[in-house]
Amino acid sequence: MNISPVSIIFGLATVYFGGKIWHIIPTFFKLTVALLTGIVKWPGPRIHDFDRRASLIRKHLGAGYENLFPTFILNALGVLGAFIFSILTLISSTQSMSGYIRINWTFFTVVLTLFAFIGGEISFKKAQKNILQVKSILSDHAKKVEPKAVDSQSTETEYAIEHPLIGYRNLPSNTKRAMDLFYESTRHHQDGNVQTGLILYKEALKIDPNLHKNARESLLKMAQNCNSSDEGAIFYWLGIHSVYLMDRRQAAIYYEKAIDAFNRIGYLKRESRARCNLGDIKMGLGDPSGMEEFEKAVALNPKNGTAYINIGVTYYRISEHGDPRFEKALDAFANAIIADPDAYKPLVLSQLRSIGYTWREDWEDIVRRVVSRTPGTRIKSDPPAKNSDALQTSPKKEIGFTTNPQILKLEGLKGSQKRPIGFRTPAKKSQKTYRNEKHGFEIDIPVEWAPAPIPKQGGKDLFQYGCYDEAFNFEIGPLFPEPPLEQTERDFMLFAMVRRFSGLKIGRIAVGGKEHVCASYFISDGMGDRWNKKYMIVFDKTEYAITATCNDQKWFAQREKDWDAIIQSFRMVTGFR
Co-location of 165 and 192 in the same domain? yes
Check residue 509 and give its pLDDT: 93
Co-location of 23 and 58 in the same domain? yes
400-405 average pLDDT score: 32
Q: How confident is the model at residue 403 (pLDDT cuts 50, 70, 90)?
A: very low
Check residue 77 and give its pLDDT: 93
Whether 95 shows a pLDDT value over 80: the answer reads: no
Co-location of 240 and 353 in the same domain? no
pLDDT digits (tens, 9 = 90+) for 545-563: 999 999 888 889 889 999 9
Average predicted confidence (pLDDT) for the chain: 80
Give the orientation angle of helix 290-300 with respect to helix 268-284, to 10 degrees: 160
DSSP 415-465: ---PPP------SS--EEEEEETTTTEEEEEETT-EEE----STT--EEEE
Check residue 402 and give its pLDDT: 30
Domain extent for 95: 5-151
Check residue 152 and give its pLDDT: 83
- Rounded to whole angstroms, the Cα distance separating 249 from 253 reads 7
Residue 307: inside a domain: no
* Percent of the chain scoring above 90 in pLDDT: 32
Co-location of 459 and 348 in the same domain? no
Check residue 414 and give its pLDDT: 38
Check residue 216 and give its pLDDT: 94
Among candidates 156, 146, 169, 103, which has minimal Cα distance to 307?
Answer: 156
Residue 37: inside a domain: yes
292-299 average pLDDT score: 94
Give the CA diameter of the chain. 106
Check residue 270 and give its pLDDT: 95
Residue 527: inside a domain: yes
- Show which of 394, 425, 441 is a domain's final residue: 394
pLDDT digits (tens, 9 = 90+) for 24-83: 999 999 999 999 998 888 888 888 877 766 766 776 666 678 888 999 999 999 999 988
Range of lowest pLDDT (257-266, 326-335, 426-435) = 426-435
Residue 411: inside a domain: no
Q: How confident is the model at residue 404 (pLDDT cuts 50, 70, 90)?
A: very low
Co-location of 161 and 40 in the same domain? no
**Do the beta carbons of residue 288 and residue 254 sit within 8 Å?**
no
- Show which of 279, 301, 323 is a domain's final residue: 301
Whether 421 shows a pLDDT value over 60: the answer reads: no
Distance between first and last Cα of the chain: 91
For position 426, which CATH number holds?
3.40.1000.10
Co-location of 227 and 297 in the same domain? yes
Which span out of 420-424, 438-442, 483-487, 572-576 was modeled with the highest average pLDDT? 438-442
Alpha carbon 408 to its chain's center? 26
Whether 97 shows a pLDDT value over 80: the answer reads: no
pLDDT digits (tens, 9 = 90+) for 303-353: 999 999 999 988 887 788 888 999 999 999 999 999 988 888 888 887 787
- Rounded to whole angstroms, the Cα distance separating 46 from 149 reads 9
205-234 average pLDDT score: 91
* Percent of the chain scoring above 70 in pLDDT: 81
Instruction: Give φ, ψ of 192 to 5 degrees.
Output: 95, -5
Buried b (16+ CB within 10 A) or exposed e, 218-247: bbeebbeebeeebbbbbbbbbbbbbbbbbb
Q: How confident is the model at residue 103 (pLDDT cuts 50, 70, 90)?
A: low
For position 158, which CATH number holds?
1.25.40.10
Whether 412 shows a pLDDT value over 70: the answer reads: no
Residue 577: inside a domain: no
Co-location of 105 and 200 in the same domain? no
**Do the beta carbons of residue 343 and residue 386 sit within 8 Å?**
no
Q: How confident is the model at residue 469 (pLDDT cuts 50, 70, 90)?
A: confident
**Do the beta carbons of residue 154 and residue 193 sit within 8 Å?**
no
Pick the more confident residue, 516 or 355.
516
Count of structural domains, the chain: 4
Check residue 382 and give its pLDDT: 47
Instruction: Give φ, ψ of 476 to 5 degrees.
Output: -125, 135
- Within 8 A by CB and 6+ apart from 429, the residues are 446, 447, 448, 562
- Rounded to whole angstroms, the Cα distance separating 332 from 3 reads 71
429-449 average pLDDT score: 86
Whether 420 shows a pLDDT value over 70: the answer reads: no
Strands ordered across the beta sheet of 462-466: 450-452, 462-466, 470-478, 542-550, 528-539, 514-525, 502-511
Check residue 89 and give its pLDDT: 78
Co-location of 30 and 176 in the same domain? no
Among candidates 114, 120, 151, which has minimal Cα distance to 136?
Answer: 151
Q: How confident is the model at residue 465 (pLDDT cuts 50, 70, 90)?
A: confident
244-250 average pLDDT score: 86
pLDDT digits (tens, 9 = 90+) for 113-128: 888 889 889 999 999 9
- Rounded to whole angstroms, the Cα distance separating 441 from 546 reads 13
Co-location of 359 and 497 in the same domain? no
Co-location of 468 and 538 in the same domain? yes
- Show which of 98, 118, 151 is a domain's final residue: 151
Co-location of 106 and 200 in the same domain? no
Residue 402: inside a domain: no
CA separation, residue 345 to residues 95, 192, 331, 350, 506 (Å): 67, 9, 13, 9, 25
Q: How confident is the model at residue 10 (pLDDT cuts 50, 70, 90)?
A: confident
384-404 average pLDDT score: 33
Residue 47: inside a domain: yes
Residue 31: inside a domain: yes
Check residue 349 and give its pLDDT: 83
Co-location of 328 and 252 in the same domain? no
